[in-house]
Amino acid sequence: MLPKLNYPTISIEVPPLNKPANFRPMLVREEKLLLMAKVSKDTTDILQAIKQVVNNCSLDDNFNVDKLPLFALEYVFVKLRGTSIGDEIKVSYRDLDDEQIYDFDVDLNKIEIKYPEKVEEKIEVTPTSGLVMKYPDAEIYDDKIFLKSEGEETFYRLVIRCIDQIYDGDNVYQAKDFNEDDLLEFIELMDIKSFEKVRVFMTNLPTLYYKLEYKNASGEDKIIEMKTLSDFFTLR
């Protein structure tokens, strides 16, 4: 019988839980998952692979990857990638002004979460009624109806998955207790001014964040703000 390999335990502070969770490093099996997703060139496959990798590496019985906000899932994945493969990655960008390509080294340890400065989660529709929003969670990667939606429909289906509660006076309704059609109808019957507050919430979700600064060949000071996984690296 071949020996069992032992792996170090990695402690990662998981936002927005603000407490550490324990993981093992990514192994060859996780690398295989990511390679298969990359070959498919399907965004859905890549997102599901990221979720599977984080779930596989978790060592805590009470860790629920499905309930992680998407930005937290991406953050944990980046940290796992850094400790498993290397803390530094190389990225290249073409400057649109001088048309030259610039290479950068990115320290994954310095990637942060950028939170919106002031976005209301509680959205008032009338003086006594409204809704409470939440950040979209990783469970959405397995939602076939959402993943098959297109165009503006995708946005509305994302909105209903970000509704946590609906309140009317002293009555509070949990969104998870209602089907999609009921929630869509509620959204469609909102006045436009109130729904604009929903749009503000949806367009100001927390993101990964890293800033690159450089001077191009024309002597101009440039800043590149990296906010998504695809900004940091092609999965490999």
So where are the chain's domains? 10-88, 122-202
Q: Which pLDDT belongs to residue 235?
A: 41
Q: Which pLDDT belongs to residue 229?
A: 78
Q: Which pLDDT belongs to residue 233?
A: 54
- The rounded mean pLDDT for the chain is 89
| Digit-coded pLDDT (tens) for 103-161 | 999 998 899 999 888 788 999 999 999 999 999 999 888 887 787 788 888 899 899 99
Tell me the average pLDDT across 9-20. 88
Q: Which pLDDT belongs to residue 133?
A: 96
pLDDT at 234 over 60: no
First vs last Cα of the chain: how many Å apart? 31
pLDDT at 35 over 60: yes
Q: How far apart are CA 87 and CA 53, in angstroms?
A: 18
Q: What is the pTM of this model?
A: 0.86
| Digit-coded pLDDT (tens) for 54-105 | 999 999 998 999 999 999 999 999 999 888 888 888 888 999 999 999 999 9
How far from chain centre, in Å, is Cα 147?
A: 15
Over pLDDT 70: what percentage of the chain?
98
